[in-house]
Chain A
Amino acid sequence: MASATDSRYGQKESSDQNFDYMFKILIIGNSSVGKTSFLFRYADDSFTPAFVSTVGIDFKVKTIYRNDKRIKLQIWDTAGQERYRTITTAYYRGAMGFILMYDITNEESFNAVQDWSTQIKTYSWDNAQVLLVGNKCDMEDERVVSSERGRQLADHLGFEFFEASAKDNINVKQTFERLVDVICEKMSESLDTADPAVTGAKQDPTFF
């Protein structure tokens, strides 16, 4: 987070268009599957078991280099409790990618994946790319959702699939990079027309 809180960073960000693309990504899934931890691991490379439950919605920004492009990721972390959906689904609009997360030690969170997928279809645009992520794969002893079931569900829904651990830093970076690649692929497929939603304009109306 050091770079983001640094005012120089902000100046730099705002003075020049220091990226080629800006992707808006949302992390969704049931409460306490580890969304915030996953984001913190990726953006700050830190993990603490001491996160508070997310109230509302939050986001972090990370700029990466991928395929010779500077890509600014705006990653939104959402409260998982169903009650917050009225607030969080408003932010689905304009998202280019979703990380749909469940907890491999929690059956219910896995059962809710289908429902979350429906939420994405309802509130976001058709081209949004989704990755299914089974988090907490470090807790093998408590696993209740097998990798196989995860993969099957992902296939069924047409998503790519990862098992990951924010705690042990397994597949976190890979998940985001794969999502970025998938978005880039989709973009080049449907591009030429220069979709304004994926250009890096600062006052991008799809931001909110």
Chain B
Amino acid sequence: MSCSGGPPPAALSTSGPVLLAGRLEEVPLEVLRQRESKWLDMLNNWDKWMAKKHKKLPTILKQAGPAQHWQRGWARELLVWTHGHSRPFDFQIRLRCQKGIPPSLRGRAWQYLSGGKVKLQQNPGKFDELDMSPGDPKWLDVIERDLHRQFPFHEMFVSRGGHGALCASCAHTHPSFPEQELDMSPGDPKWLDVIERDLHRQFPFHEMFVSRGGHGQQDLFRVLKAYTLYRPEEGYCQAQAPIAAVLLMHMPAEQAFWCLVQICEKYLPGYYSEKLEAIQLDGEILFSLLQKVSPVAHKHLSRQKIDPLLYMTEWFMCAFARTLPWSSVLRVWDMFFCEGVKIIFRVGLVLLKHALGSPDKLKACQGQYETIERLRSLSPKIMQEAFLVQEVVELPVTERQIEREHLIQLRRWQETRGELQCRSPPRLHGAKAILEAEPGPRPALQPSPSIRLPPDAPLPVSKAKAKPPKQVQKEQRKPSKASGQPDQPLTPNQAAVVTAAGDACPPQDVPSEDPAPQDLTSQDSAHHHSRESLTSQESEDTYL
């Protein structure tokens, strides 16, 4: 909407744990590295983690064997769970999503959580087919005109105190301003120039991030166009573009497409459909839930007759991608992919509660305009990552409450406005629900997590090369296992190995997991020098 509504995809999005530790969370580096290796392990054994029938889990543990590299901590958790039935696995996944998915694995985690990965495997070649189709001109024109209007953050950053570094790093990860698309973007070249000159100066230790050129608006176009072909009756809704843009910052176009499909059909069905009935209904649900969460804010908003659509349309339709600071967006999306729309409701409720939840806060919001202005320029304090996530996690608003309220509001809608014109499928509350709704057995996920090394670095192309670090890691894990202190931070030496696995090339993945081992050398050099879009054959991880 306005400038102030634009999201600042800050440096934090690309900075990884290092910067996060120093600036925001104060989580020790070792812990972050540990989290990363736990996530890596979890993703490489995703099916087992998400297994429906918990009874089978002990067998899995037996089957796991040394080759599976179960993390010590999780092996223990598993035992606790099988014996004590205390902590089901989806609880663990939820907890980890709440803590934040490590940036290097976020893209893959989102694909796995949303079921986008499953969809992709079920529909091989589908995206390419859609991609090749010409598409309906009526949508293409609208999409085309939206390509550069997703995250025009750069001017905002520069003019508000000159955070040039932030500016550059967002562009660096941001698909909307790739250098090859300059001619398509009406953006002021002087900013793009500033950005370009900083691109290689942000994270020199993450070489793989630096050399990804050439995707961006083009990919955004492909993804959105593919959706209009995939669901011609739905077409394109403008709020889909920021969603797709955020996805594209984390994964290639094909993966982003299937994640978008999942969001539009499973997480937020009907949000982008003709008539926008679902979002209007959710506005009513949000407002009703607010009565319990913050009676003061609820009373204030109803007294001023402020329609929920005035403040929540953009919040919900863009899943806060244009509202919150970038680091908070990512944390919210981590939880959203895991737990579903409940998270969106909770974030909305937390923001309302803290913006308007006390008589003191309302003093400066006597008029409707002042109130809406307050909601449009929210205090940075309440949007700050750690605070917001904590509040969201603790807010007792459940799926059941939302569903109950949904029925109430739906009935009210039918009484006053008649039947809904667009029948949307029921929404699924998160990763577990989506998985369980998948019809019949499906083939196991085929992870292709081959995080690439920069061209100059030695490439673990063969098993022989990959083995040494694997063995080192295994050996290093053994003593801790024996000591029975799985959560103990790794020694610097161990941490270095784990980081290498998370950031560069996880050795355990290369020999066994990759279903179609590719010639990494040739492909790598190809995409490092290519200005073309990424393909799905490439890395799932560290897509920044």
The answer to whether residues A81 and B4 also contact, given A4-B373, A10-B370, A86-B280 and a CB cut-off of 8 A, is no
Give the CA-CA distance A31 to B239 in the complex, in Å: 13
Quote the shortest CB–CB distance from A93 to chain B (angstroms): 12
Q: Which residues of B contact A4 (CB under 8 A)?
A: 369, 373
Contact yes or no, A10 B155, CB < 8 A = no
The answer to whether residues A86 and B154 also contact, given A36-B1, A56-B309, A81-B238 and a CB cut-off of 8 A, is no
Q: Which residues of A contact B2 (CB under 8 A)?
A: 1, 36, 40, 51, 58
Q: Does B310 count as interface, using CB distance less than 8 angstroms?
A: yes
Contact yes or no, B1 A56, CB < 8 A = yes
- Interface flags for A54-73 (1: CB within 8 Å of B; 0: not) read 11111101000000000000
Interface residues of B in 419-450 (CB under 8 A from A): none
Among the stretches A11-19, A126-134, A144-152, A186-194, the one at the interface with B is: A11-19
Interface residues of B in 119-170 (CB under 8 A from A): 141-142, 145-146, 149-156
Give the CA-CA distance A199 to B434 in the complex, in Å: 54
- Interface flags for A65-88 (1: CB within 8 Å of B; 0: not) read 000000000100101010110110
Among the stretches B73-81, B311-319, B516-524, the one at the interface with A is: B311-319
Q: Which residues of B contact A51 (CB under 8 A)?
A: 2-3, 149, 152
Interface residues of A in 110-168 (CB under 8 A from B): none
Contact yes or no, B367 A202, CB < 8 A = yes
Contact yes or no, A52 B366, CB < 8 A = no
Q: Which residue of A lies closest to B2 (CB)?
A: A58
Contact yes or no, B314 A55, CB < 8 A = yes
Interface residues of A in 22-53 (CB under 8 A from B): 31-32, 36, 40, 48-53
Q: Which residues of A contact B186 (CB under 8 A)?
A: 49
Give the CA-CA distance A86 to B270 in the complex, in Å: 14
Q: Which residue of A lies closest to B150 (CB)?
A: A52
Contact yes or no, A56 B313, CB < 8 A = yes
Q: Which residues of B contact A10 (CB under 8 A)?
A: 364-367, 369-370, 373
Q: Which residues of B contact A11 (CB under 8 A)?
A: 364, 366
Contact yes or no, A53 B364, CB < 8 A = no
Contact of A49 among B188, B275, B307 (CB under 8 A): B188
Q: Does B455 count as interface, using CB distance less than 8 angstroms?
A: no
Q: Does B295 count as interface, using CB distance less than 8 angstroms?
A: no
Q: Does A21 count as interface, using CB distance less than 8 angstroms?
A: no
Contact yes or no, B142 A81, CB < 8 A = yes
Q: Which residues of B contact A208 (CB under 8 A)?
A: 305-307, 368
Q: Which residues of B contact A86 (CB under 8 A)?
A: 275-277, 280
Contact yes or no, B310 A57, CB < 8 A = yes
Q: Which residues of B contact A15 (CB under 8 A)?
A: 366
Q: Which residue of A lies closest to B149 (CB)?
A: A53
Give the CA-CA distance A4 to B3 in the complex, in Å: 14
Q: Which residues of A contact B377 (CB under 8 A)?
A: 5
Contact yes or no, B3 A48, CB < 8 A = yes
Contact yes or no, B305 A79, CB < 8 A = no
Q: Which residues of A contact B88 (CB under 8 A)?
A: none
Contact yes or no, A84 B276, CB < 8 A = yes
Q: Which residues of B contact A87 (CB under 8 A)?
A: 276, 279-280, 309, 313
Contact yes or no, B237 A48, CB < 8 A = no
- Interface flags for B228-258 (1: CB within 8 Å of A; 0: not) read 0000000001110110000000000000000
Give the CA-CA distance A208 to B365 in the complex, in Å: 17
Quote the shortest CB–CB distance from A177 to chain B (angstroms): 21
Q: Does B382 count as interface, using CB distance less than 8 angstroms?
A: no
Q: Which residues of A contact B454 (CB under 8 A)?
A: none
Quote the shortest CB–CB distance from B11 to chain A (angstroms): 19
Q: Which residue of B lies closest to A58 (CB)?
A: B1
Q: Does B489 count as interface, using CB distance less than 8 angstroms?
A: no
The answer to whether residues A13 and B370 also contact, given A86-B280, A208-B306 and a CB cut-off of 8 A, is yes
Contact yes or no, B152 A50, CB < 8 A = yes
- Interface flags for B309-339 (1: CB within 8 Å of A; 0: not) read 1100110011000100000000000000000
Q: Which residue of B lies closest to A43 (CB)?
A: B2
Q: Which residue of A lies closest to B144 (CB)?
A: A32
The answer to whether residues A48 and B155 also contact, given A55-B314, A55-B318 and a CB cut-off of 8 A, is yes
Q: Does B486 count as interface, using CB distance less than 8 angstroms?
A: no
The answer to whether residues A55 and B367 also contact, given A36-B2, A50-B155, A208-B305 and a CB cut-off of 8 A, is no
Quote the shortest CB–CB distance from A64 to chain B (angstroms): 15
The answer to whether residues A61 and B276 also contact, given A55-B239, A55-B317, A87-B309 and a CB cut-off of 8 A, is no
Q: Which residues of A contact B307 (CB under 8 A)?
A: 90, 208
Quote the shortest CB–CB distance from A55 to chain B (angstroms): 4
Q: Does A20 count as interface, using CB distance less than 8 angstroms?
A: no
Contact yes or no, B370 A14, CB < 8 A = yes
Give the CA-CA distance A23 to B65 in the complex, in Å: 74
Contact of B152 among A1, A5, A52, A84 (CB under 8 A): A52
Q: Which residues of A contact B154 (CB under 8 A)?
A: 50
Contact yes or no, A55 B238, CB < 8 A = yes
Q: Which residues of B contact A7 (CB under 8 A)?
A: 364
Q: Does B372 count as interface, using CB distance less than 8 angstroms?
A: yes
Q: Does B187 count as interface, using CB distance less than 8 angstroms?
A: yes
| Of listed A1, A56, A90, A208, residue having the most chain B CB within 10 A | A56
Quote the shortest CB–CB distance from A45 to chain B (angstroms): 13
Q: Which residues of B contact A202 (CB under 8 A)?
A: 367
Q: Which residues of A contact B469 (CB under 8 A)?
A: none
Give the CA-CA distance A50 to B187 in the complex, in Å: 6
Quote the shortest CB–CB distance from A114 to chain B (angstroms): 18
Give the CA-CA distance A61 to B274 in the complex, in Å: 30
Q: Does B6 count as interface, using CB distance less than 8 angstroms?
A: yes
Q: Which residue of B lies closest to A208 (CB)?
A: B305
Q: Which residue of A lies closest to B312 (CB)?
A: A56
Contact of B142 among A31, A49, A77, A205 (CB under 8 A): A31
Q: Which residue of A lies closest to B151 (CB)?
A: A52
For the complex of A and B, list the 5 residue pairs with the smallest distance between their C-beta atoms, beginning with the closest.
Answer: A50-B152, A56-B313, A14-B366, A10-B370, A7-B364
Contacts from B to A (Cβ < 8 Å): 1-6, 141-142, 145-146, 149-156, 186-188, 237-239, 241-242, 272, 274-277, 279-280, 305-307, 309-310, 313-314, 317-318, 322, 364-370, 372-373, 376-377
With A36-B1, A55-B314, A83-B272 known, 16 other A-B pairs at CB within 8 A are: A5-B373, A10-B366, A10-B369, A13-B366, A13-B367, A13-B369, A31-B145, A31-B238, A36-B2, A48-B3, A49-B187, A50-B152, A52-B6, A56-B314, A86-B277, A208-B307
Contacts from A to B (Cβ < 8 Å): 1, 4-5, 7, 10-11, 13-15, 31-32, 36, 40, 48-59, 61, 74, 77, 79, 81, 83-84, 86-87, 90, 108, 202, 205, 207-208
10 pairs, CB–CB < 8 Å, chain A vs chain B: A14-B370, A32-B145, A36-B2, A40-B3, A48-B152, A52-B5, A52-B150, A53-B149, A83-B275, A84-B276
